[in-house]
Chains A and B, each alone.
Chain A
Amino acid sequence: MEKIKCKNCTKDIENEIFILNLWVCPYCNYHHYINARDRLQITVDSNSFIELGKNINSDDFLNFYDVKSYSVRLKETKLKTSLDEAVIIGEAKIEGNDVALGVMDFGFIGGSMGSVVGEKIKILSNYCIEKNIPLVIFCASGGARMQEGVISLMQMAKTVSSVNRVKESKIPYITIITNPTSGGVSASFATVADIIIAEPDALFCFAGPRVVKQTIKKNLPPDFGTSERNLKNGQVDMIVNRNELRSTLTNLLKLFKE
């Protein structure tokens, strides 16, 4: 029997049990990484997801080269993750409720936001306005994609403008903060939602703990940037366990309907 070790309590978990428990440790409730496809699987009604914006691909327009070139990095990541980009967008049903849904994946270059993520959030926003259905985005990102330079910074403005049009159209906009959500994504579309839900154990901050520690040259409190600390500080509406997200979303979507 294949086993994995919990990152938090270090107990061994049988792989099958781990997956059936939605990638959450059954002994300590630590919420582990879940990829975008699996997230879709556990969130939407079966066979209800129709992907949008599949034809958009990242471009190494700066010929960015650090220890490898951005174009090579993209190719490798696509193969490794079987994803086209750090976000999947589409239309779906959650307990029969139509939503425009975006799911980010931290596994794709740290869930970083470049031109494609920006464009997909814009397409999704336009789509939900056109169909008049709520906008739901699962966030997971280390921030802006450095390999796209300042253009990645501009995606913050682009996505905020896009979701702002959703808000102006009086369409509900809900984000779910998952581990981790930081930098350019946390300081743009993730935090301007009408309702912000956090999963347990999600790091949610602008500057990451390493950078903050360097600046203040002191140890950080152990709960720095956690969902619990953010709830206490008034930065999120609620913390919801992964197994209850579907029902919480359903409840919210129904409240907005009337």
Chain B
Amino acid sequence: MDLKKLEEIPKSYLKEILGALSKLEKLKKIPFFTGIHFKDAERDLSRKIESYKKVERDAKRAWKIVELSRNENRPQCLDYINGIFEDFVKLSGDRLTGEDKSIVAGLGKINGKTVAVIGHNKGKDIKQRLEYNFGMSIPQGYRKSQRIMQLADRFGFPIVTLIDTPGAYPALEAEDDGQASAIAKSILLMFEVKVPIIAILIGEGGSGGALALAVGNEVAMLENSTYSVISPEGCAAILWKNHSGTKLAARELRLTSRDMLRLKVIDRIIPEPIGGAQNAPGRMVKIVKKYIIGTLERFASIPGEELKSRRARKFESMGFFSTE
């Protein structure tokens, strides 16, 4: 067997392969061991190594998309708001304890109709990133979002959400203020409103913080955005116990838009300009605008009760399991 092949497979798979190899070598030394055809066994092992090499390639591909989704030159929530909605008025505060800038919310017009827009904004340079806390929200942000959604519901304004967050902010104050409960309430409220909700993942769809804005009648993803239960870094730290598994985790988590469509987690992929949205931000904004207008038209004639029950049915049917 060509041992050079082994250099190309991921470390976490290497142990298994080496184990199998040394077992084979041991068996070969037994004079009358005839239970295994060694040539067949070695061919199987070679095949396994080939498939694991593919894992590494897939991992690199997945990681490239993770990097694209985080590219700071991608259009962000505020770019879409400025480029798409007319007469936008930003609304602030949760009316309870404060204002969280990482979530931008307000009312604006598109195609002559008023809609509520809510999204995470990450910021572009370090000053902005600190101001918007890298798009990581605290309970005030989720409660502001709830307030605007309730407002939209009362006046029959459709809701458009733009999702771009590494995840909810893991901080002591946020925990003390009920981070878990704030996210859960946001999800709950999105099952109660009777207006269309269009959720668009524009960059990073990180965990519960993303889902808190993403319970849509339609959920769309920009081609190079990601959606994941945990960041590849976080996943690697827990399951691989080190950072070397980060790229592998990116593959294993299946976080690309194509994966999402295949798993029926999203309804649509919005194509990006060649090479990614960062190459032509203006065009990207126009593509998203066209998508929102078309989708709002599709939902316009559906009664509120129907929108609500469709949303519940859609999310309650998600999951893969076997029944005997």
Q: Is the CB of A233 within 8 A of B176?
A: yes
Q: Known contacts A161-B312, A216-B171; is A150 also within 8 Å of B177 by CB?
A: no
Binding site secondary structure of chain A:
helix
Q: Check if A179 is an interface residue, CB within 8 A of chain B.
A: no
List which B164-190 residues lie within 8 A (CB) of chain A: 168-172, 174-181, 183-185, 187-188
Q: In the complex the two chains form, what is the Cα distance from A205 to B97 in whole Å? A: 20
Q: Is the CB of A146 within 8 A of B321?
A: no
Q: In the complex the two chains form, what is the Cα distance from A222 to B200 in whole Å? A: 40
List which A187-229 residues lie within 8 A (CB) of chain B: 187-192, 204-207, 211-212, 214-216, 220-221, 224-225, 229
Q: Check if A37 is an interface residue, CB within 8 A of chain B.
A: no
Q: Check if B240 is an interface residue, CB within 8 A of chain A.
A: yes
Q: Check if A116 is an interface residue, CB within 8 A of chain B.
A: yes
Q: Check if A237 is an interface residue, CB within 8 A of chain B.
A: no
Q: Is the CB of A207 within 8 A of B319?
A: no
Q: In the complex the two chains form, what is the Cα distance from A56 to B324 in whole Å? A: 7
Q: Is the CB of B252 within 8 A of A64?
A: yes
Per-residue CB contact flags for chain B residues 213-239 toward chain A (1 = under 8 Å, else 0) read 001000000000001111000110011
| Stretch from A14-22, A25-33, A152-160 contacting the other chain | A152-160
Partner of A220, one of B172, B188, B259, B265: B172
Q: Known contacts A66-B240, A146-B235, A190-B184; is A153 also within 8 Å of B177 by CB?
A: no
User: Which 9 A-B residue pairings sit nearest by Cβ, starting from the closest?
Assistant: A207-B170, A115-B319, A186-B180, A66-B239, A206-B180, A187-B183, A153-B229, A206-B179, A61-B320
Q: Please, could you name 29 A-B residue pairs with CB atoms under 8 Å apart, sorted by A?
A: A56-B323, A57-B321, A64-B252, A65-B55, A67-B12, A67-B239, A114-B319, A116-B319, A118-B318, A146-B253, A148-B320, A149-B253, A151-B319, A153-B208, A155-B318, A155-B319, A157-B215, A157-B315, A164-B192, A188-B184, A190-B180, A190-B184, A191-B184, A204-B180, A205-B179, A206-B179, A207-B168, A212-B172, A221-B172
